[in-house]
Structure 1
Amino acid sequence: MNILLILCLTLLIINTARINGQQCMDLMPPFVPSTPLLFCEEYSKYGCCSSTDDQQLRRLFNDIRLQNRQNNARRTSSTCLQNVKSFLCARCSPFSAEIFQRTIIQPGSGHMLGLFPSLCGGLCKQFVRMCSNILLDYFAIVGTNGNRMEEALFSQPLTNSTATDNFCNIVKIPSHKRQYCYPTVDSTHGESSKFTEDRTNITDCVCLQPLRKSLRSPIVITNANDDSGRLFIVEQIGTVKVILPDGSSPNNDFLNIKSTVYVGNKLSQSGLLGLTFHPNFKENHKLYIFYTLKKDNDSDLVSRVEEFRVNDTDINSVDTSTSRVILEISKYSSNHAGGQLLFGKDGYLYIFTGDDGGDGDDMEIAQDLFMLSGKVLRINVDVTDFIAGKEYSIPSDNPFAADESLGLPEIYAWGLRYPSKCSIDRAVLSLTILALSDNRIFCGDVGADTFEEVNIIRKKANYGWNIKEGTMDFCPECLRGLPEVKITYPIFEYRHTIGVSVVGGHIYRGCASPNLYGQYIFGDLKNGDNLKQTWKGERLQMCTASQCVGTLTNKIEPYILSFGESEEGEIYVLTTSSLSLTSSYGHAYKIVDPLRRGNPDECKSARPVSGISLTGGVYPTVTPRQREITVPTHVTSQTTVTPRIATRRRQQRPTSETRRRNRQQNTRRRNRGPERGNQRPRSRLSFIQRLFGRRGNNRNQSPAHTGNNQRRTNNPASNRTSGNQQTRNGIRTIGGGAVVVSNQGATVVRVNGKR
């Protein structure tokens, strides 16, 4: 299957290589107009003109015709007028950048966009001889906002063949690009029409728009959702940088806490790991960070969630004097801290923590409901619990909020190893079942020995670590003699023959690349090193250099570190060529579909930086619209019954103070300070005994139950989805197969079927 797809894509690239230069005069991809064009109607299905551009071209044509009538006693033929209309509408061609781009052989000149299209064959000379009386009016009207070289050349009437030849030589297309001459290359004629019609609704490849370079281990890129258009890039060493809408940055860092953050060695998983902004940031100016530090004379390592506010006089810098420590979690190693912070649609702060990096979670932290590591936590940072002495409160519907004897009230979900880059689907979901929350959180979880996985985070879900790694048993002996728990399987997993460390991403909900809409884009840290490996499913390549034209590139560093979103839902990727935290080899890119963009009339992200249309007009104001998505009833992670958790109410907390002191002697450090941190690790047997009051034996258990603890049969060569039937479980349940940039590390999973 994979070989067939690879061959098909190779043939497709070869067949379309001659006509792959689709680019508008603003050096951006073509698009599909939202409404049919009334003047340049031949480009209503696909091209470079919006309704705004179409109206402006009609005005230009009417002005040319009116001026020509005033300046010429002899009436211009309808054929000449039709040609002028065609030349104006050539700006709407998907190949308009090639049609109007030429090299001028003049001192100090180079590539430029002309006012007159490059015509095929002898059409230029034929037109000049027949319609020379209207060309002056054409240049006088069209050239007011463009290059005037052609108009200056034509300021004298072309009364002889030499002058005509000189003009046509200047506006001709280079010989190596003759396939782009007008009107042969017109997207509604000849062989290119099939190409454009076939390519407008699918994406086989992507390009990258460089945003920033020379970053030091960039690990987060996010936005403040304050309508400022800014992006914020977190460097793991302890700094945050601001990227303004024009791509520039202030001289100072947005935040610099390098003196406080504990990073460890150059390849450490500690440091400044998370950043998010309050949903009401535009008014309260609050933001939250997750980082590691050492306390009490460097004897204790903790993970801290801290609140800050921006400076009252400078929105591009943080006022560090406004610090408020929200939560601290004691750590037993410098690995697997986690660090992702998200505000859900419910307004609560979600905190993703790792299992502390023990050998196979030997202290069984991820399954211990009285420890905060290896979990998804959910808290309310807007309300302080003075009675409990916490800088936050507990949402009333948290799994253990009503009975803390069953687990810590902060816990929302558990059983995670090393959650890597999680995101919330920003779409407004039209739910078909009450059990499915509108708060869909997608999260990558880095595996141990065999599998990497992607999960949808749900309340009170156990994702199995360290009982399971993905859908496979990791520690089956840990379940012997224990009651059964409900484990939620990932929606997608892949083996280490493909990658080594999943990097979670986002569902694309932007408008600049509509062919990517509804697809989950994620990657793998070292997927760039696995050039010969393939994903099961459709492959998405980096586009060729001839397709990634202008400022776009198809080159990317070998290591993918993170993905992020802009306010408009555009997806960015952070990469590096060195995993050293101190090296300045990090880059930030925007993911772009070079074959089709959104309609600039409706999509701000699809407009050029100048904000001016290709006809010189001003785009209309865009009102953000939330797109409602209908989620199929089967879009849930598959679950299986292995040890059942919290189905019986524990009568009391059975762990005595004496037992706790004994456990302390076997741990690396004590849990100190006022923070709501991890309790001392306990054995799995102790944990189950606490949970079920020592009734946790299964001597009377049916064989059907015990069978779930056996290792599943699995083909090592396959890349599994959840469960055994791909058409029912795992990634197929959300509407499509996995798609990967085969040698550059980005993976795409289509969500919700058709756009």
Structure 2
Amino acid sequence: IRALLHPQCLDYQPPFKPPYHLEFCNYYEMFGCCDQKTDNLIAERYWDIMDLLGDEGYELCGDFVKDILCQECSPYAAHLYDAEDPYTPVRHLPGLCFSYCINFHTKCHSVVKYLSDSKILQESCEKDRSHFCNLINLPDQDYCYPNVLQNNDLYSNLGKVVEDPKGCLQLCLKEVANGLRNPVLMLHSGDGTHRMFVAEQLGFVWVFLRDGSRLEQPFLDISGDVLTTPWLGDERGFLGLAFHPQYKHNGRFFIYYSILVNSKLEKIRISEMKVSAHDMNVADPYSERMLLEIEEPAANHNGGQLLFGLDGYLYIFTGDGGKAGDPFGKFGNSQNKSALLGKALRINVDGSSNNGKPYKIPPDNPFINEPDARPEVYAYGVRNMWRCSVDRGDPVTHYGRGRIFCGDVGQNRYEEIDIIVKGGNYGWRAKEGFECFDIKLCQNSSLDDILPIYAYGHHIGKSVTGGYIYRGCESPNLNGLYLFGDFMSGRLMALEEDRNSESWKEKNVCMGDAKTCSFPGLINHHHKFIISFAEDEAGGFLSVSPFGTVYKFVDPSR
């Protein structure tokens, strides 16, 4: 399967390689959502239908029916069956692209009554072919069958900036690291060494020296403890890393990763560790001290951002618990302040509390006096914030210093960028972007949510990756811009603040043309997906690709 979109099964688990050969839906035996038992059940259903059709029907419609039934095994089954939208029932039939559906209906409309017991589908199938195919189609043409396998235009354009270069700020790239295995973050330790630390989802952290060389021994290897799989689309794994503001003196750092308890219960764990007393480039493997564990009800939406604010406190960004539409409890996890999922948490790691917790609650945490709220909660109503950053502030005026920016991944329609403030409600699941998602919750007068500073629709991208405000010296045209991207489309974007109107406006950025980026060592293209952004100790700006490459942005005008 050539498609590299966002694979997910109907049970919200990542796709996998079946342990045994699939006899029927063998197209998906290398990577998909069916094991042999499910494959056998689909085959039984298929032959039951073929018995009803007879030899002539088998000859005409057998391939159609097999393709349609086997989409349950597709690595994109959750999208094909619209399972990610909690306000639509899971489809009886997968989303079929209009032209494919017309061809299917022309030859095999009599089969529909065997594939679905939906009266709406059966009636429209008999009365109006176009209406039937519009019902079967998906709004997102990237995922309807067979586009999900064959849309060459989609895949060939992934990672290419589509803006007209005229009037856009052209940037070049310089490759600074490669050969990594699905890196998810890169950051510096703030100790004056200018080392960069790159974390791989498998549970390894590597050290890159100032000259760009990578040390042979990993800084940290907890791959034996981290819950992850090699399958594309698995959101679990080693997800977060933060160095203590006094790391240079105390050697303390903090990690965020997925674990499996008793071979059954999935959790996220936040722990403290220390650097080795004998080697500054290796962590002490025996120093782990667990701070917090949170049960994860599903495999997706695991959050994963750790960072220290200028207040010295550790901020922890959790996902809403997964599945679709935050279906947990009456209002979902994100709007429930007694749950730790779907939140920005804030704790003081310099000390322990009287009740035995290995951290303290900051005395000004906003919900500390609410009896039903967890005292760790700093902000709520977030879905799955993927990459947050602290603004260094203008190097001269210090304007903006300490603001926390986050990209919050959307559900069906919108991706958003938020500035996190104490006590803020960021709207999910009542809202997605600027629009209502759950109508009843959205119309609740007590919602009082904080709107994003920017949101964009799924025609631009489908999974936001939060970035940084550029405050470095090397690329003057980037000064004050918030640069971020989209994981799915590979698109690079920027926001510029209008302080007079207190609003943010998109600024066009694009890869420079061949002539612009013709200097030695510069390139004008990157891999398809942007999984993370980073800032080096001097304020330089980098992006991380899951294909194992790290790039540094260069303003060619310098």
TM-score if structure 1 supplies the norm length?
0.48
Amino acid at match of 2:216: N
Q: Kindly indicate whether residue 424 of structure 2 is the aligned counterpart of residue 454 of structure 1.
A: no
Q: Kindly indicate whether residue 474 of structure 2 is the aligned counterpart of residue 512 of structure 1.
A: yes
Aligned to 1:42: none
Deviations 1:45-73 (A, max 9, x none): xxxxxxxxxxxxxxxxxxxxxxxxxxxxx
Q: CA deviation at 1:541?
A: 1.9
Match 1:503 to one of 465, 469, 494? 465
Q: CA deviation at 1:545?
A: 2.2
Match 1:417 to one of 383, 395, 398? 383
Aligned to 1:591: 553
Q: Kindly indicate whether residue 519 of structure 2 is the aligned counterpart of residue 556 of structure 1.
A: no
Q: CA deviation at 1:216?
A: 1.0
Aligned to 2:181: 216
Q: Kindly indicate whether residue 274 of structure 2 is the aligned counterpart of residue 314 of structure 1.
A: no
How is 1:263-662 mapped onto 2 (pairs within 5 angstroms)? Answer: 263-264=228-229, 266=231, 267-295=233-261, 297-363=262-328, 364-385=332-353, 387-401=354-368, 403-427=369-393, 438-478=401-441, 483-528=445-490, 537-548=506-517, 549-576=519-546, 585-596=547-558
Q: CA deviation at 1:406?
A: 4.0
Identity %: 43
Q: Kindly indicate whether residue 196 of structure 2 is the aligned counterpart of residue 231 of structure 1.
A: yes
Q: Secondary structure at the match of 1:487?
A: coil
CA distance in 2 between counterparts of 1:404 and 1:437 reads: 30
CA contact (8 A) 2:393 2:400 kept: no
CA contact (8 A) 1:226 1:282 kept: yes
CA distance in 1 between counterparts of 2:224 and 2:383 reads: 29
CA distance in 1 between counterparts of 2:184 and 2:346 reads: 22
Distance 1:408 1:251, change over 3 A: same
Q: CA deviation at 1:538?
A: 4.3
Q: CA deviation at 1:309?
A: 0.8
Distance 1:431 1:371, change over 3 A: farther
Aligned to 1:144: none
CA distance in 2 between counterparts of 1:228 and 1:537 reads: 35
Q: CA deviation at 1:546?
A: 2.5
Q: CA deviation at 1:515?
A: 1.6
CA contact (8 A) 2:492 2:509 kept: no
Deviations 1:130-150 (A, max 9, x none): xxxxxxxxxxxxxxxxxxxxx
Q: CA deviation at 1:250?
A: 1.3
CA distance in 1 between counterparts of 2:401 and 2:475 reads: 24
Distance 1:227 1:203, change over 3 A: farther
Amino acid at match of 2:514: A
CA distance in 1 between counterparts of 2:372 and 2:406 reads: 25
Aligned to 1:104: none
CA distance in 2 between counterparts of 1:428 and 1:389 reads: 40
Runs (5+) with no aligned partner, structure 1: 1-201, 577-584, 597-755
Distance 1:516 1:536, change over 3 A: closer
CA distance in 2 between counterparts of 1:378 and 1:431 reads: 27
CA distance in 1 between counterparts of 2:482 and 2:169 reads: 15
Deviations 1:18-39 (A, max 9, x none): xxxxxxxxxxxxxxxxxxxxxx
Q: CA deviation at 1:203?
A: 7.6
Q: Kindly indicate whether residue 211 of structure 2 is the aligned counterpart of residue 243 of structure 1.
A: no
Distance 1:530 1:393, change over 3 A: closer
Q: CA RMSD in A?
A: 2.3
| Bigger radius of gyration among the two | 1
Q: CA deviation at 1:566?
A: 0.5
Amino acid at match of 2:417: V
Amino acid at match of 1:557: H
CA contact (8 A) 1:431 1:438 kept: no
Q: CA deviation at 1:300?
A: 1.4
Distance 1:572 1:253, change over 3 A: same
CA contact (8 A) 2:436 2:442 kept: no
Distance 1:360 1:265, change over 3 A: farther
CA distance in 2 between counterparts of 1:594 and 1:563 reads: 20
Q: CA deviation at 1:438?
A: 4.9
Q: CA deviation at 1:431?
A: 9.6
Deviations 1:610-636 (A, max 9, x none): xxxxxxxxxxxxxxxxxxxxxxxxxxx
Q: CA deviation at 1:479?
A: 5.4
Q: Secondary structure at the match of 2:263?
A: coil
CA contact (8 A) 2:190 2:247 kept: yes
CA contact (8 A) 1:211 1:590 kept: yes
Distance 1:528 1:344, change over 3 A: closer
How is 1:643-682 mapped onto 2 (pairs within 5 angstroms)? Answer: none
CA contact (8 A) 2:241 2:306 kept: yes
Amino acid at match of 1:407: A
CA distance in 2 between counterparts of 1:230 and 1:203 reads: 33
Could you list the runs of 4 or more consecutive aligned residues of structure 1 that deviate by over 3 angstroms after TM superposition? Answer: 428-432, 528-531, 535-538
Amino acid at match of 1:209: K
* Larger mean Cα displacement after TM superposition, 537-546 or 549-558: 537-546
CA distance in 1 between counterparts of 2:265 and 2:418 reads: 32
CA distance in 1 between counterparts of 2:401 and 2:358 reads: 27
Q: Secondary structure at the match of 1:456?
A: strand
Q: Secondary structure at the match of 1:560?
A: coil
CA contact (8 A) 2:427 2:447 kept: no
CA contact (8 A) 2:483 2:492 kept: no
Amino acid at match of 1:213: N
Q: Secondary structure at the match of 1:442?
A: strand
Distance 1:437 1:477, change over 3 A: same
Q: Secondary structure at the match of 1:439?
A: coil
Q: Secondary structure at the match of 2:388?
A: strand
Deviations 1:419-448 (A, max 9, x none): 01000101169999xxx9853100000000
Amino acid at match of 2:252: K
CA distance in 1 between counterparts of 2:220 and 2:492 reads: 36
CA distance in 1 between counterparts of 2:176 and 2:266 reads: 35
Q: CA deviation at 1:485?
A: 2.3
CA contact (8 A) 2:492 2:510 kept: no
Q: Secondary structure at the match of 1:210?
A: strand
Distance 1:425 1:538, change over 3 A: closer
Amino acid at match of 2:454: F
Q: CA deviation at 1:514?
A: 1.5
CA contact (8 A) 1:366 1:466 kept: yes
Runs (5+) with no aligned partner, structure 2: 1-166, 494-503
Q: CA deviation at 1:539?
A: 2.3
Distance 1:428 1:575, change over 3 A: same
Q: CA deviation at 1:477?
A: 2.4
CA distance in 2 between counterparts of 1:298 and 1:475 reads: 35
Q: CA deviation at 1:329?
A: 0.8
CA contact (8 A) 1:444 1:502 kept: yes
Q: Secondary structure at the match of 2:311?
A: coil
CA contact (8 A) 2:485 2:492 kept: no
